[in-house]
Structure formats: structure tokens, C-alpha cells
Amino acid sequence: MQEKDILQEEIKEVEKLLTVNKLTKENATFSETKGGFITLLLDGEQKGQVNVICTFPFTAPNEFLSVRTADDKEEELGIIENLNDFDEQTVLIIKKQLEIRYFMPEILKVFSVKEEYGHTYWSVLTNKGKHKFTSPSGSSGSVIRNGNRVIIKDSDQNRYEIKDLSKLTPKEMKKLDLYL
């Protein structure tokens, strides 16, 4: 008898794992704490602090966002299929959170790119201020190019983005040309 219960329970648990809980305007309310963290009220139940994770951070940053508890269990509470279905306020606080999580300064200007001793030394202006970083040269994966969008990973695995190569000046392009 007891055994059957456990099995039943497990099946339910598995079912729960297999069904994607869709978070919508109707069942989920996100709010921001004073410290800038996000809490979730789901079906009238306070779930506490949550983390929002992009499942396609590069190709679809606003879709299929996984919402998980902020403890170390990181249990998935549900998925936001499209962030834009939510009200403006929610979009704002979640976007702010995502921006922090997927921190990726945008490179606006390239001052110099130099290669020395097997490392590429970059000096750039980002939307977050002037910055210098080093990326391992020659190793594939440190510069990801997708059409005119370029993502550069430095040796610390920090990422930098060039949103549109064609917006750089020809002089900057020339500096970059060899490294892309």
C-alpha cells in the first residue's frame, strides 16, 4: 500500500518535471525588492527571491526565460515564453536583472588591438566606460562572429559585444580585421 503511494507520488513528481509551467500575466506577479532583487508571487503563493535565466541568451534573449528559486536547489518555477507579454513594469525589472546576469559591455570604439606573446591586448571604449582586456589569440572561441555581430571573450571569460561591425570606422575595422 505504502509502496504504491510512493510510486504514485513519484509519478506525480515526474509529471511535474515533465510539464512546463507557463508563467503568464495572469498567474505570476514579479516585484522588485529594495535591494534590487526579484520576488515572485505565483498563483497567490509567495515564492520569494527568484533568478531569471535566458535559455537562448544569444539568439532570443527575451523568449523562454526560465524562472528559478534563488536557493541552491535552483528549482524551476516556470517559463516565461515571451517577456513582452508582461506589463511594462515587469519587463523593466526583469530586463534589468537579465542585463546584470548576462553582463556584456558593448564595444563602441576600438582604440587599439595588439598581439604580443600569444595574447591579444585590447583597448576599447565600452558603454560602461574605457576598458582594457586580454584575450588568448589563436584559440577558437575567443571571438565569435555572427554576421556583423561579434562577441569577444577575454581570458577571464568576460564577454564583450560589438553590436554592428559596419558602424565602426574604416580605421577601426582595419585594426580589427586581423583578429576577427
Partner 1 sequence: MSEKRPLSEMPKGLKQIVEDKKLLKTKLLIFAEADMNSACDFCRFVLLLTEDALVVGTNNKLGFSDPDNKEIDYSDFSFTEYKISELSNPTITTYVVGGMFSAKIGGEQTPICAFTNAYKGRVMRIKEILSVILENKEIKPERLFEDKRDEFCHKCGMPYPEKNRKICPKCMDKRKIFFRLASCFKPFKFKLVLISVLCILSALVNSVWPILNGTLLYDNVLAKNKANSVFEALPFEDFSIFLLILVFMMVGVKILQQLFGVIQGILVAQIVPKVVADLKNKVFASIQHLSVSFFTGKETGGLMSRITSDATNVTNIFIDGLPFILPNLFTIIFSCMVMFATSPLLAVVAIATLPPAVIISIKLEPVLWHYNSRRFQTARDFRAKLNDNLTGARVVRAFGREESEKVRLQKVNENVAAAQTDAMNFDVKYTALYHIAQSLSSVLTFTIGAAFVLAVFKPQMTYGTLMTFTGYVSLLAGPANFFSFIFRWWSDSMNSAQRIFEILDAKPEVTEDPNAVPKTNIKGNITLKDVTFGYEENREVLKNVSLTVNQGEMLGIVGKSGAGKTTLVNLITRLYDVTEGEILIDGVNVRDMRFSDLRKNIALVSQETYIFKGTIFDNIAYANPSADRKTVIDAAIAASAHDFICKLPDGYDTEVGSGGRGLSGGERQRISIARAILADPKILILDEATAAVDTETEKNIQASLKKLVKNRTTLSIAHRLSTLRDADKLVVIERGKITEQGTHKELMLKKGEYFKLYQIQSKALAMRGIGD
Q: Do the beta carbons of residue 73 and residue 36 sit within 8 Å? A: no
Amino acid found at 126 = T
Number of amino acids touching partner 1 (CB under 8 A): 45
Amino acid found at 178 = L
Q: Quick one: 130 or 167, whose CB is closer to partner 1?
A: 130
Can residue 69 be called a binding residue for partner 1 (CB under 8 A)?
Answer: no
Q: x/- contact string, 97-136, with partner 1 (CB under 8 A)? A: --xxxxxxx---------xxxxx---x--x-xxxxx-x-x
Q: Do the beta carbons of residue 152 and residue 143 sit within 8 Å? A: yes
Q: Quick one: 22 or 128, whose CB is closer to partner 1?
A: 128
Amino acid found at 11 = I
Can residue 66 be called a binding residue for partner 1 (CB under 8 A)?
Answer: no
b or e along 31-47 (b: 16 or more beta carbons within 10 Å of the residue's beta carbon)?
ebeeeeebebebeeeeb
Binding residues vs partner 1 (CB under 8 A) = 2-4, 6-7, 10, 33-37, 49, 51, 57, 70, 72, 99-105, 115-119, 123, 126, 128-132, 134, 136, 138, 140, 155-159, 178
